[in-house]
A = this chain, B = another copy of it.
Amino acid sequence: MSDQPITDITAYMRDLGQRARTASRALARASTAEKNAALLAIADELDRERAAIAQANRTDLDAGAAKGLDAALLDRLELTPGRIDAMIEGVRQVAALPDPVGAITDLNYRPSGIQVGRMRVPLGVVGIIYESRPNVTADAAALCLKSGNATVLRGGSESFASNQALAACIQRGLATAGLPADGVQVLATTDRAAVGVMIAMPESIDVIIPRGGKGLIERISREARVPVIKHLDGICHVYIDDAADLDKAFNIAMNAKTQRYGTCNTMETLLVDAPVADAILPRLGAAYRGKGVELRGCQRTRDLLADAAPATEADWDTEYLAPILSIRVVDGLDEAIDHIARHGSAHTDAIVTEDYSRARRFLREVDSSSVMVNASTRFADGFEYGLGAEIGISTDKFHARGPVGLEGLTSVKFVVLGDGEVRC
């Protein structure tokens, strides 16, 4: 499908939104068996249409190369056979996850005689705005479908043809299972004006999840007229306490920085308690140097690591997403917690200590979406946490916080069971 010019974007989006709203009612009622059948049918369609998907992807890759996209972007855009396998397997895995919808919890009798509980329900219509990785189309559609939501997807313009090919498979899969094809809609336009309309239709879209760079997310958060589940910076810290087991500290500090550099749960600043600085920093410094990590430190750090550059105030506030690490020697737990409160991004922070009371204080007092004792920040992930899947990581406190799985795509309502009770 080519990008046909749409003359009235507002009318196009309103119609699409209305169809999503209608489809969301059917999806909210759909049984677990129906939703799983649709997910498996979608996986089968994706498998059957590999050639068409690859051809559409080739169109995008050629256009991207002609536009001069850099190698990293073209790599993210490419749907290799292996990536298509992984996408199909991902959809099948979502079918195997437990269905959160309809679960009733805390159903208790009240003195009036009524029973009151909470039932988990879909949010309604989820809008997802993402950049060029086209596999998000299938991942996000699968998670929203399993949680009983309709989805409106707006992918990057570079992956337009790929996304249209994937959408066709998804919609056929839905129809095969007897669910409305409008349950998953991918915008048939790359017109940026559509995004402005999409984030301001509370009558049709209940929540927006932006996935992409900070600029995209900030713009959407600023302009949206519906709630946004957003992920901004990941400025993550590891604090090595003076009661740390220094072998655990070494392993965690190395893993948190060097296992992958470009992820949001990678450590960006290492805090070291002064009494153990000379025991741990030279050993860590040598190992980071061996991995090619550039070090920037406070004066006390530089007294121990001669090759560390001086860290500026800006370093403490920077998410490098690169083999760069800032290091600060602090005087105890309070200074570490203060540093994290002032410079962190409330994403993921860890303490390494064998001291029970300090571990307990760190867990309670650090206000981040994940707080850890003696574990690498790299564990902050929906799969590692056992959520089964992840549609993103929220750095907000409202509604969903940290890795967002199926449950983050739902809400609850109260259910009341009575036998004719009335209020006095």
Contacts and interface: CB of A to CB of B under 8 A. Distances in A.
Contacts of A364: 29, 102, 119
A422 B259 contact: yes
19 contacts: A25-B341, A28-B367, A29-B364, A227-B398, A247-B420, A254-B422, A259-B423, A369-B413, A369-B414, A372-B418, A373-B416, A375-B422, A376-B418, A376-B423, A378-B422, A379-B416, A385-B414, A401-B413, A402-B414
A238 to B, nearest CB: 11
A241 interface: no
Interface of A: 25, 28-29, 102, 108, 110, 112, 114, 116, 119, 121, 123-124, 206-207, 227, 245, 247-248, 251-252, 254-256, 259, 341, 350, 363-365, 367-376, 378-380, 384-386, 397-399, 401-403, 411-423
A252 B206 CA distance: 33
A333 to B, nearest CB: 13
Contacts of A114: 372, 375, 379, 384
A418 B385 contact: no
Nearest to A222: B225
A375 to B, nearest CB: 3
Contacts of A245: 420
Given A413-B369, A415-B363, A421 B385 contact: no
Nearest to A369: B413
Nearest to A29: B365
A386 B118 CA distance: 12
A367 B123 CA distance: 10
Contacts of A110: 384-386
A247 B248 CA distance: 69
Among A102, A256, A420, chain B packs the most CB atoms within 10 A around the CB of: A420
A207 B398 contact: yes
3 shortest interchain CB distances as A-B pairs: A375-B418, A248-B420, A255-B422
A229 B273 CA distance: 42
Given A29-B364, A116-B386, A371 B255 contact: no
A124 B114 CA distance: 34
A369 B412 CA distance: 8
Nearest to A371: B415
Nearest to A104: B363
B124 A397 contact: yes
A75 B144 CA distance: 49
Contacts of A368: 413
Nearest to A244: B420
A418 B374 contact: yes
Contacts of A416: 350, 370-373, 375, 379-380
Contacts of A401: 411-414
Given A108-B386, A373-B416, 14 more contacts: A114-B384, A123-B397, A206-B397, A227-B398, A248-B419, A350-B416, A370-B413, A370-B414, A375-B417, A378-B423, A379-B418, A379-B421, A399-B399, A401-B413
